[in-house]
Amino acid sequence: MRTRLGIEALPRRPDLEAARELLRSYRPHCEDQAHTQARMLAFIDEHPLDAHRRTQLTGHLTASALLIDASGTRALLTHHRKLNRWLQLGGHCDGDANLAGAALREALEESGIPELCIDPMPIDLDIHTIPARPGEPEHLHLDTRFVVHAPAGAMERLSEESHALAWVAPHELEALSTDESVRRLFRLCFR
């Protein structure tokens, strides 16, 4: 069984060396992942003080999580309010270079489920463009993705960031408005 940590084991780390170490330790599962890993490490080198802050307007590190139910058969997705599509939970690091901690904090906040635990090793990396909005230019999200586990009997609670939350089995995913990166996460988690 892989390691699972709770939020108390994942303190905030402002120093980008924590993110750099984690990304270096990631073992890519394909050539595209190796390329994404190299791009993310180069981005940290180019922005050594603020790669993990929203104030870096060209882009910033983000952390996300595919939240798996206790039976291991479904994942909780959010219908994202701003992007208007179904996505895994996650978001901005806001100065926290402990990417696993940032992903778990986002999952706790967006799901409303207490006592989640995370596998602290990433399962996937993704770089995607966020469209411009008033007061915010188009920019990149350099996302490190983890698997988070819900306790038995978990009851989700909608946050203001979402239109809806839904537990989704792999065979139900194609019916939702989502993207290839979410489908890739499902393939990696539900092999």
| Residue 1: pLDDT band with limits 50, 70, 90 | low
| Residue 191: pLDDT band with limits 50, 70, 90 | confident
pLDDT in tens, 126-184: 999 998 988 889 999 999 999 999 999 999 999 888 889 999 999 999 999 899 999 99
- Do residues 103 and 111 lie in contact, with contact meaning Cβ atoms separated by under 8 Å? no
DSSP per residue, 13-56: --STHHHHHHHHH---SSHHHHHHHHHHHHHHHHSTTTTTSTT-
Q: What domains lie within the chain, and their CATH numbers?
A: 7-189 (3.90.79.10)
Q: What are the φ and ψ backbone dihedral angles of 161, each rounded to 5 degrees? A: -80, -10
CA 6 to chain CA centroid, nearest Å = 16
Task: Kindly state the percentage of the chain with pLDDT values over 90.
Answer: 88
pLDDT at 83: 77
- pTM, whole model, 2 decimals? 0.95
